[in-house]
Amino acid sequence: MMTTTSSIISLALLSFLSHILILNAEIHKCFIDNGYFSNTAIYRTNLNFLLSNLTSDTDIDYGFYSAFYGEYPNRVYALGHCRGDVNPDSCRTCLNNAAKILPNLCPNQKKAVLYDELCILRYSSRSMLGIYENPDFSFCMANPNNETDADVYNGSLDDLLVSLRSNAVAGDSERKYAAGNMRTGSGTIYGLVQCTPDLSRLDCKDCLSKAVSEIPNCSGNKAGGRIIKLSCFLRYEHYAFFDS
């Protein structure tokens, strides 16, 4: 009986820890579906060159970078995507830092992603541009504080995210982003949603809809939360976390 109780407590603790909100978080995933490479492989050389030059085009001021380098079967593709309120210099700094970190976190996997507070970096041995990839994959992060009036809060949150999703989906090939706030019974809720701008409007809507549907299991009745997918993400809090 003690073993069963301990197991339940351990599982509950792990579930709690996996949903804690980490400020200025860097979280990553090393995928195995594209295979591996050795430390001396041509793929690594191509990856290093691509990542070191991903943000070299300083004319890009809308926070989205896409490039590839090398010849098949060692061609590498990369996408860099910054939050819509981030200025170009901060965007490039975030992505350049991610480019240094991620290959060390995933030293042999051909496919990987890193989420930072201000940007997301992805690379793969397959093209990702315009592709709505892995719809069911997500990172979940929740504010540990409970919302005092959950029913009112959740109703306002739903209304806010529906409005923001519509605005983001209506975006163009440079930016599909929306942020705003709404009054609740106990204050104000701030929300932000974004898709990679290469997604079609239909795929953007589906991605954000899936993210919203995951809130109850991720951060339901919490004061804030984030759902980060490969092609979109959302965040909401009781405070203004974005640059208006």
Do residues 31 and 120 both lie within one domain?
yes
Where a domain ends, among 124, 154, 188? 124
Q: In the structure encoding, which two tokens stand for residue 72, read together? A: 């098949």
Do residues 155 and 222 both lie within one domain?
yes
Beta carbons within 8 Å of 221's beta carbon, 6+ residues apart: 146, 147, 150, 153, 154
Residue 206 CA to residue 107 CA, distance in Å, equals 32
Do residues 160 and 216 both lie within one domain?
yes
Do residues 114 and 165 both lie within one domain?
no
The CATH number linked to 113 is: 3.30.430.20
Angle at 108 between CA 107 and CA 111, to 5 degrees: 100
Provide the residue range defining the domain that includes 91.
27-124
Where a domain ends, among 124, 153, 168? 124
Do residues 120 and 31 both lie within one domain?
yes
Asked if residue 97 is part of any domain, the answer here is yes
Do residues 120 and 142 both lie within one domain?
no
Asked if residue 99 is part of any domain, the answer here is yes
Cα 5 from chain centre: 35
User: Is 173:150 a contact under the CB 8 Å cutoff?
Assistant: no
Rounded average pLDDT over 160-169: 98
16-30 confidence digits (pLDDT tens)? 333 333 444 579 999
Residue 210 CA to residue 132 CA, distance in Å, equals 12
Asked if residue 8 is part of any domain, the answer here is no
In the three-class reduction of DSSP (H, G, I as helix; E, B as strand; rest coil), residue 220 is classed as coil
Q: In the structure encoding, which two tokens stand for residue 96, read together? A: 């350049």
What is the longest distance spanned by two Cα atoms in the chain? 64
Do residues 79 and 142 both lie within one domain?
no
Asked if residue 229 is part of any domain, the answer here is yes
Do residues 117 and 48 both lie within one domain?
yes
193-220 confidence digits (pLDDT tens)? 999 999 999 999 999 999 999 999 999 9
Asked if residue 5 is part of any domain, the answer here is no
Do residues 36 and 116 both lie within one domain?
yes
Rounded average pLDDT over 152-180: 95
Asked if residue 14 is part of any domain, the answer here is no
Asked if residue 177 is part of any domain, the answer here is yes
Asked if residue 52 is part of any domain, the answer here is yes
Q: What pTM was estimated for this model as a whole?
A: 0.87
60-73 confidence digits (pLDDT tens)? 999 999 999 999 99
Say which range, 39-43, 116-120, 180-184, 240-244, has the weakest mean pLDDT: 39-43
Do residues 144 and 107 both lie within one domain?
no
Do residues 85 and 32 both lie within one domain?
yes
Where a domain ends, among 124, 159, 178? 124
Do residues 109 and 164 both lie within one domain?
no
Total tally of structural domains belonging to the chain? 2
* Single-letter amino acid code for the residue at 235: R
Cα 87 from chain centre: 18
Residue 91's pLDDT is what? 97
